[in-house]
Amino acid sequence: MQNRLLAIAVIAGAMAAPIAAQAQSGTVGVVGGGSVVVGEHEGITIEQRPAFREYVVRERVPTFTIPDRVTVGGVLPEAGITYYDVPQTYAATPYRYTVVNGQTVLVEPRSRRIVQVVD
């Protein structure tokens, strides 16, 4: 019995290690057993978030409403949402942004997957 518990602990630790390693270098969201990682140089940094939120408000970006919760890893609908380029002033990023359910999010343009909720 003790060997079985030890084996389970080893397997659980091995499964958690990649996520823990990724968490040190960026934002991690776990979705359906997979993880979505935004590297520290790809998203909006903590320091830039207040200025970026002010920019979004100044631009009067409309908020889109979806029935689902807004979370990292969630996929936005194909139609009905407009995506905007992130100005280089805030981040050199391959992602685009939009506002969903009142929350500003970075989205991977091809998959429409949320990679960062800018809080």
Per-residue pLDDT of the chain (119 residues; tens, 9 = 90+): 554 443 444 444 444 434 333 333 344 443 343 334 444 457 999 999 999 999 999 999 999 999 999 999 999 999 999 999 999 999 889 999 999 999 999 999 999 999 999 98
Spell out the domain ranges in the chain. Answer: 2-118
Whether 91 contacts 48, CB under 8 Å: yes
Q: Characterize the bridge pairing of strands 26-31 and 34-39.
A: antiparallel
**What is the number of alpha carbons within 13 Å of residue 6 lying toward its C-beta?**
3
Looking at the domain that runs over 2-118, which CATH code has it been given?
3.10.450
